[in-house]
Structure 1
Amino acid sequence: MTTEFFSGVDTGRARSNNEDSVAIDAEALLAVLADGMGGYNAGEVASQMATSFIVRELGRWLREAGAQASDGDVRRAMDICVDNANRAIFNAANANPQYAGMGTTLVVAVFRDNRLILGHVGDSRAYRMRGGRLQQISRDHSLLQEQIDAGLITPEQAAFSSNKNLVTRAVGVEDTVLLEMHVHDVLAGDLYLMCSDGLSDMLDDAAIGRLLAACGESLEAGCRTLIDAANDAGGRDNISVVLARASGGAGAAVRSWWPFRR
């Protein structure tokens, strides 16, 4: 099983700066996406600290450990790297008044032959497209999701809620953070999407699935189409997308598209 990656980040139509960040290590089959929060440029600092630290440290560990590492070993390494990134962001926020309160959501994906080890914090999401069906495989850490789980509102009502951006868990806002992790089976032909809420708030799951299906095998077309559609729907936030396709054959590839509209 091999994996090809493609990523894109766009500022959107309503923001003047970009607080989303993505990083990919194709050799380690690792992808990281973060959506920062905080005043001034603090959100941008937090998301870039998270992605750069995790892709560097976890990527190095994965390359050195190789196939001999068990899934349990990988999960422990992910947990340690995210904890260290959390402490670095938390300490920077406390040492610099201009960064006070900064934090970031996080999605970390490690592909291992026929498995995906997925970790996430906050409301940035991961989806899987299999057999033409799109399924969300992460669960938002948000007030809105808690209200849905408690039966206080329906998913349909949630689409119009004013509480969309209230996360209940984030990297860097406290001295510890809980990374939720799950292992998923990977089949050849699976397409995986990681995204910030700049995409998922603008397009519902059905629309995302239709757009991905219409793009066929092209990951670049998929990225461009999703970002353009989110902007056409209003582009109220930064939009970041990572696509990963599992297939047979040899070699892994990574490409990125960084338009950063201003």
Structure 2
Amino acid sequence: MKLWGITHRGAVRQQNQDAYAVRELEDGRGLAVVCDGMGGARAGNVASSMAVELFMRKLEEQGQPGDDPQKWLKTAAAHANDGVFQKAVEDPDCTGMGTTLVAALAGNGKAVLLNEGDSRAYHITRDGITRITRDHSLVEDMVQRGELTREQARNHPHKNLITRALGAEPVLLADCFDQNVAPGDYLLLCSDGLSNVVTDQEILYEVIHGGEDEACCQRLLDVALHRGAPDNVTVVLMRC
């Protein structure tokens, strides 16, 4: 498993409220997590950084994933949710903060993914790109009801309004997904700072045809920056 990641504050924001982590486990599987914080001037950064740290620490405490990787990820995400929620309750500067979270554990022909919010995970092969996760957002709900097309959703004024976030409620309601992966397949995790300005087909092109894998995250960031990058941008690429 090969892992790469990059994060940037973008061209407009003064602070980067995204956070991410990648790790290769002892058994060769790859682990990645991306968080996109929300809240006040300081709180979004606190939420995303806390979530990543607590999530990764809890995974370490649990040891190897074993036979139930969904439970392994959910337990860590619930722990992170508890910590962020308590911080938001106890610290007046952090009132109302929260964060998205998308995570993937991949290897041995299988990937397990968890998400809360609108940070995304994609499965990419030479045959195409498939979004694995479903956004927990107002515009995604409108698309599902047939009130908006995908293209209309990309430009909707409320596209950044999410309906679920880690740390916003005392109980986490994260979604989990199982995905088969073959040698040479890719998983890409990103915050909406990328997906709002770079299309799925453009992501596919850069991953498969754009050049060396090691530079792919930078290439995607450069595309976002070239288009004004109004939000923080985080990209993680995993190659099976």
Partner residue, 1:15: 13
Task: Give yes or no for contact 1:5–1:219 (8 Å, CA) kept in 2.
Answer: no
Residue 237 of structure 2 aligns with an amino acid whose one-letter code is L
- Which contiguous aligned blocks of 4+ residues in structure 1 show a shift greater than 4 angstroms? none
SS class of match (2:64): helix
Aligned to 1:180: 175
Structure 2: which amino acid aligns with 1:58?
A: L
Residue ranges of structure 2 left out of the alignment (5+ in a row): none
Match of 1:219 in 2: 213
Tell me the residue number matched to 2:22. Answer: 24
Distance 1:215 1:59, change over 3 A: farther
Q: SS where residue 30 of structure 1 aligns? A: strand
Q: Quote how far apart the aligned CAs of 1:179 are.
A: 1.1
Instruction: Figure out how many residues of one structure are paired with residues of the other and give that number.
Output: 237
CA distance in 2, matches of 1:20, 1:160: 22
Q: Does 1:140 align with 2:135?
A: yes
TM-score (normalised: structure 1) = 0.87
Q: Which amino acid aligns with 2:238?
A: A
SS state at 1:65 partner: coil
Q: Distance in 1 between matches of 2:140 and 2:127?
A: 26
Q: What does residue 130 of structure 1 align with? A: 125
Task: Give how far 1:76 is off.
Answer: 1.4
SS in 2 for 1:184: strand
Matches within 5 A, 1:75-114: 75-114=70-109
Q: Equivalent residues in 2 for 1:32-111 (5 A)?
A: 32-61=33-62, 64-65=63-64, 69-70=66-67, 73-111=68-106
Partner of 1:5: 3
Q: CA deviation at 1:55?
A: 1.3
**Structure 1 residue 60, shift from structure 2 partner:** 4.1
Partner of 1:249: none
Residue aligned with 1:151, SS:
coil
What percent identity do the matched residue pairs reach?
A: 38
Please identify, of 159-168 and 52-61, the stretch whose mean Cα deviation from structure 2 is larger: 52-61
CA RMSD across the alignment:
1.2
One-letter code aligned to 2:230: R
Structure-2 separation of matches of 1:7 and 1:54: 17
Alpha carbons 2:125, 2:208 under 8 Å: kept: no
Q: Please tell me whether residue 162 in structure 1 is matched to residue 157 in structure 2.
A: yes
SS of the residue aligned with 2:147? coil
- Name which of structure 1's ranges 24-33 and 154-163 shifts more when overlaid on structure 2: 24-33
Considering Cα pairs closer than 8 Å and 6+ residues apart, tell me whether 1 or 2 has the greater RCO.
1
Contact 2:3 2:23 in 1 (8 A): no
Alpha-carbon deviation of 1:219?
A: 2.5
Q: List runs of 5+ in structure 1 lacking aligned partners.
A: 247-262
Q: Distance in 1 between matches of 2:81 and 2:64?
A: 23
Q: Which residue of 2 aligns with 1:149?
A: 144
Asked if structure 1 preserves the Cα contact closer than 8 Å seen for 2:58 and 2:79, the reply is no
User: 1:231 aligned to 215, 225, 235, which one?
Assistant: 225
1:119 is matched with 114
Q: Per-residue deviation at 1:205?
A: 1.0
